[in-house]
């Protein structure tokens, strides 16, 4: 065991220490050129100014910076190789605006690299950026910036900024003289199109030099006059020049210290992660043994008999062996159908995040257990009893390909995938239903940006139980109790709408054991690529009622369409069985599109909890190993004034598979949804087990994306 730990430490050291950022490819080759660094705004840049470089695709970073009483926490994401986005929570001490002692502010950025410097090319990289383009506007600015790297150590940057970045030593107002001023205390949240690239513009720029793999030096000229801050005496700006040093501690962490604006010492910590750079390399243990090969038919024809099928012991005997061997691979056998030539198994995958890996492991089990006469394997994936898809694979293809260099690609062209038929009663594993299952786990709930407590967090304990009568017919329930935390200190903010979500702190104040959910549900495939679901009961912490959903998605389609109608009542604050005097019919029609490259689009249009009508647009980038980062916004017929702070509902969300941290197979993930503010407009009821994700999991796009793991 000690040895294992030593190995683990060695592995961690390798990840954390030895190698530096930039994604090495599978041959261990790294990209050329200086490494990009994140500035005080969490954007790629020098110190306080942006540059035109980009982070590696998919890089997910968080920065914490501080100087002169200003703290900025920024979450940024390289959405595509050229497009990046950021969400920032900043606190300015002593900035007394709209009656706050410390001014807290949330803001979003977007930037796009228009030109990219090529190896050996002459042109610099050029980027265009919008800073704080949908917040209250304190950091609002726009810029066009160019950066040119010379060799692998030196980068020179120059740009033009507007708004904040055009406030010092401006040379002109090239596009328009007028720019609406920042108004403290306004609800904000609108796209401030009317101010982009307007008003005075100024030059900024700087030089970065990276003499070693880890060390960097930066000098910049800032075009931000910090007018609001210096007027209020937050800090004194004596010089436009900033300079300092940064150090890449390991692959994830970079630290920098700077002398800023002639008066302040600033520090910046940047933590950068990448979905493609797992913290622990996956081991795929237990590794699959070599595929069991059948004796040749010519040499041992007697073993290829089909007489075994007539033996009454065949079904119980093979069923038991299949169940046991599949269970060792984290696959639960639910039903199976034996034929002399074709055998179908129906499984629930409880271990692997990649469906292809679950299918591959199951096929190996079939090759190990089933008599030689069985040539065709059919594996049907089930999700909580809902049969989703059936993969058909020839055993002789498996045998021929396993050790070939192109085994994965070659097999991909030979498997068939069809929509699953509903599970037949006669195929069920004898004595399996009804099934009871339970779990007891701690979990955390968080809420951010309360002015009194920027981070509210509760540690809760959840007892979950489920009872499955027959595949697809279920009762699920969860009891929770709070172990520790400060969520009960959350404030209820007033609302002009029915308090469908702003009342959440009242639920958080509940002590003792609460009934989180208790639902009866039925889901099944309806044939012709349709799936249906009915769920009734206590759906979530705040609502109970009945929810019905229908989804259309062909197994090879990238498009899915769905419709959902819910009648829900607001639950009592004590989270018992009772309801408050608020009920509403909500419903949506939804379109989902699974774009190549892992981008997932979703549009839901319909009626929301407060009775408002509108639509939600969501875009998520899903990586093949299960990482997902996305953003959403909802516009409804509620006006910005009625909505309150933020003007409309929006947020970002991310989910990181646990296996990315541990290297061990797991279907768990960690993540959260961050909304700048939770209000009542554009709010939806959280119905458990919505169909789309359950069905998509077993469909072609998703299986194809993860196909490389079929043999692992």
Partner 1 sequence: MKKKLALLAFLVLSSCAAVEGLGSGETEGSPMFSAVRQIGSGIFSRGRGEAPPQFAATRASLNAAGITRPVLVARLDAVGISVGLLEFQTPRDAIVWRSLDGNTITTAGGLLRNTRGFGTDLHSLETAPLRRALSNGGPAEYSRLFRGLDGLDQIETHRLYCQLQPETRETVDVLGRAYDTRRYVETCRLQDRADPVFVNTYWQGRGGTIWQSRQWAGPDLGYIDLERVNPE
Applying CB under 8 A, the residues found at the interface with partner 1 are 1-4, 7, 23-29, 274-278, 281-283, 285-293, 325, 328-329, 354, 361, 364-365, 367-368, 399-400, 402-409, 623-625, 705-706, 708-709, 712
Helix (H) or strand (E) holding 599: strand 599-607
Q: How far is CA 265 from the centre of its chain?
A: 35
Q: Shortest Cβ distance from residue 278 to partner 1 (Å)?
A: 6
Q: Quick one: 24 or 463, whose CB is closer to partner 1?
A: 24
User: Residue 426 CB, nearest distance to partner 1 (Å)?
Assistant: 27
CA dist., res. 688 & res. 646, Å (int): 27
Please, what is the minimum distance in Å from the beta carbon of residue 634 to partner 1? 30
Pick 234 or 356: Cβ nearer partner 1 = 356
Minimum Å distance from CB 650 to partner 1? Answer: 28
Count of CA atoms in the C-beta half-sphere (13 A) of 275: 21
Query: Cβ closer to partner 1: 145 or 322?
Result: 322
Phi first, then psi, for residue 666 (nearest 5°) are -165, 150
Residue 95 beta carbon to partner 1: minimum distance, rounded to whole angstroms: 42
Structure tokens at 658: 């646990």
Shortest approach of partner 1 to residue 587 CB, angstroms?
37
Q: Which is nearer to partner 1, 372 or 676 (CB)?
A: 372
Question: Which is closer to partner 1, CB of 118 or CB of 285?
Answer: 285
399 or 529, CB closer to partner 1?
399
Q: How many CB atoms lie within 10 A of CB 708?
A: 15
Least distance between partner 1 and beta carbon 290 (Å): 5
Rounded CA separation 379/359 (Å)? 7
Q: How far is the CB of 3 from partner 1 (least distance, A)?
A: 7
Torsion of CA 462, 650, 139, 137, to 10 degrees: -130
Classify burial at 25, counting beta carbons within 10 Å of its beta carbon; exposed 0-12, middle 13-18, buried 19 or more.
exposed
Our CB check for partner 1 shows the closer of 313 and 512 to be: 313
Minimum distance, C-beta of residue 622 to partner 1, in the bound complex (Å): 11
What tokens does 503 get? Answer: 């009342």
**What's the burial of 512, exposed, middle or buried (CB within 10 Å: 0-12/13-18/19+)?**
exposed
* Inter-CA distances, 210 with 219, 245, 430, 560, Å: 12, 10, 67, 49
Residues facing residue 88 across a β-bridge: 74, 107
DSSP 18: I
Cβ proximity to partner 1: between 408 and 615 the closer is 408
- Strand ranges in 420-494 using DSSP code E only, listed in sequence order: 435-448, 455-470, 473-485
The distance of closest approach from Cβ of residue 425 to partner 1 in the complex, given in angstroms and rounded to an integer, is 29
CA distance to 46, 143, 533, 640, per residue, from 158 (Å): 11, 10, 57, 38
Strands 376-383 and 342-349: parallel
Closest to partner 1 by CB, 400 or 603: 400
Residue 400's H or E segment, with its range, is: helix 395-401
Chain centre distance of CA 359: 24
Output 127 or 356, the one with its CB closest to partner 1. Answer: 356
Minimal distance, residue 301 CB to partner 1, in Å:
17
User: In terms of Cα–Cα distance, which of 443, 439, 444 is closest to 464?
Assistant: 439
Q: In the bound complex, what is the minimum distance in angstroms from residue 328's beta carbon to partner 1? A: 7
Nearer to partner 1, 354 or 393 (CB): 354
The total of other beta-carbon atoms located within 10 Å of residue 506's CB is: 17
| Token couple for 249 | 């501690």
Cβ-based nearer residue to partner 1, 26 or 231 = 26
C-beta of 72 vs 709, nearer to partner 1: 709
In the complex, least distance from residue 708 CB atom to partner 1, rounded to whole angstroms: 5
User: Which residues, other chains included, contact 473 with Cβ-Cβ below 8 Å and sequence gap of 6+?
Assistant: 385, 521, 522
Nearest to 600 by CA among 632, 569, 566: 632
Residue closer to partner 1 (CB basis): 60 or 258: 60
Hey, is 527 helix, strand or coil?
A: strand
Q: Smallest distance from the beta carbon of 387 to partner 1, in angstroms?
A: 24
Closer by beta carbon to partner 1, 193 or else 596:
596
Q: Tell the smallest beta-carbon distance from residue 317 to partner 1 (Å).
A: 13
Cα separation, 712 vs 704, in Å, equals 15
Cβ proximity to partner 1, 288 vs 611, nearer residue: 288
**C-alpha separations of 613 from 603, 629, 638 in Å:** 14, 27, 8
Percent composition of the chain: helix, strand, coil (DSSP 3-state, to 5): 15, 45, 40
* Residue 39, C-beta contacts closer than 8 angstroms, at least 6 positions apart: 45, 46, 47, 48, 49, 50, 51, 65, 268
Contact 267, 72 (CB under 8 A): no
For the bound state, the minimum distance from the C-beta of residue 55 to partner 1, rounded and expressed in Å, comes to 15
| The residue to which tokens 């038991």 are assigned | 320
Which region holds residue 409: left if phi is over 0, alpha if psi is between -120 and 50, else beta? Answer: alpha
């Amino acid at each position: 065991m000690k040895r294992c730990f030593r190995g683990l430490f060695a592995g961690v050291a390798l990840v954390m220490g030895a190698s530096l950022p930039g994604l090495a490819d599978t041959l261990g080759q790294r990209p050329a050129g200086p490494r990009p660094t994140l500035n005080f705004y969490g954007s790629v840049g020098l110190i306080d100014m942006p540059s035109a470089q980009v982070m590696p695709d998919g890089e997910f970073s968080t920065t914490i910076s501080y100087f002169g009483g200003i703290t900025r926490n920024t979450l940024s994401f390289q959405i595509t190789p050229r497009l990046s986005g950021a969400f920032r929570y900043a606190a300015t001490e002593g900035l007394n605006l709209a009656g706050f002692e410390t001014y807290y502010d949330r803001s979003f950025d977007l930037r796009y690299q228009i030109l990219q410097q090529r190896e050996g090319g002459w042109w610099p990289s050029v980027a265009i950026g919008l800073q704080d383009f949908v917040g209250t506007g304190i950091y609002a600015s726009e810029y066009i910036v160019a950066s040119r790297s010379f060799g692998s150590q030196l980068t020179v940057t120059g740009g033009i900024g507007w708004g904040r970045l055009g406030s010092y030593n401006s040379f002109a107002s090239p596009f328009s003289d007028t720019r609406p001023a920042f108004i403290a205390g306004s609800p904000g949240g609108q796209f401030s199109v009317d101010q982009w690239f307007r008003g005075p513009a100024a030059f900024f720029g700087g030089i970065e030099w990276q003499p070693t793999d880890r060390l960097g030096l930066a000098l910049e000229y800032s075009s931000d006059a910090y007018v609001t801050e210096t007027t209020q005496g937050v800090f004194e700006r004596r010089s436009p020049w900033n300079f300092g040093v940064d150090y890449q501690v390991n692959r994830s962490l970079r630290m920098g210290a700077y002398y800023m604006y002639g008066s302040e010492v600033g520090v910046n910590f940047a933590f950068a992660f990448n979905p493609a750079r797992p913290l622990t390399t996956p081991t795929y243990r237990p590794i699959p043994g070599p595929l069991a090969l059948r004796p040749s038919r010519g040499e041992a024809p007697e073993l290829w008999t089909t007489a075994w099928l007539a033996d009454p012991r065949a079904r119980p005997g093979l069923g038991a062996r299949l169940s046991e061997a599949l269970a060792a691979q984290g696959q639960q056998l639910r039903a199976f159908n034996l034929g002399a030539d074709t055998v179908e198994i129906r499984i629930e995958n409880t271990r692997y995040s990649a469906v292809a890996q679950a299918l591959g492991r199951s096929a190996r089990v079939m090759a190990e257990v089933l008599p030689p006469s069985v040539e065709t394997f059919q594996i049907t994936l089930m999700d909580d009893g809902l049969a989703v898809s059936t993969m058909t694979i020839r055993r002789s293809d498996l045998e021929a390909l396993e050790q070939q260099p192109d085994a994965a690609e070659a097999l991909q062209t030979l498997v068939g995938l069809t929509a699953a038929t509903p599970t037949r009663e006669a195929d069920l594993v004898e004595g399996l239903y009804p099934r009871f299952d339970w779990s007891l786990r701690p979990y955390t709930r968080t809420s951010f940006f309360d002015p009194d407590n920027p981070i509210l967090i509760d540690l809760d304990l959840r007892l979950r139980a489920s009872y499955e009568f027959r595949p697809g017919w279920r009762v699920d329930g969860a009891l929770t109790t709070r172990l520790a935390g400060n969520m009960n200190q959350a404030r209820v903010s007033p609302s002009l709408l029915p308090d469908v979500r702003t009342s959440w702190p009242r639920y958080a104040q509940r002590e003792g054991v609460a009934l989180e959910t208790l639902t009866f549900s039925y889901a099944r495939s309806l044939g012709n690529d349709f799936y249906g679901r009915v769920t009734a009961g206590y759906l979530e912490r705040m609502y109970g009622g009945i929810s019905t959903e229908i989804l259309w998605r062909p197994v090879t389609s990238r498009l899915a369409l769905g419709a959902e109608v819910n009648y829900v009542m607001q639950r009592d604050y004590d989270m018992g069985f009772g309801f408050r005097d608020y009920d509403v019919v909500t419903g949506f029609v939804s379109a989902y599109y699974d774009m190549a490259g892992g981008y997932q689009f979703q549009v839901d249009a319909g009626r929301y909890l407060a009775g408002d009508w509108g639509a939600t647009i969501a875009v998520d980038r899903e990586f093949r190993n299960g990482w997902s980062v996305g953003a959403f916004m909802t516009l409804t017929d509620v006006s910005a004034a009625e909505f309150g702070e933020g003007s409309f509902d929006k947020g970002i969300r991310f989910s990181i598979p646990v296996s990315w941290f541990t290297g061990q197979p797991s279907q768990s993930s960690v993540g959260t949804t961050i909304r700048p503010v939770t209000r009542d407009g554009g709010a939806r009821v959280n119905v458990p087990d919505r169909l789309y994700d359950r069905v998509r999991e077993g469909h072609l796009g998703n299986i194809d994306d993860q196909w490389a793991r079929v043999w692992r």
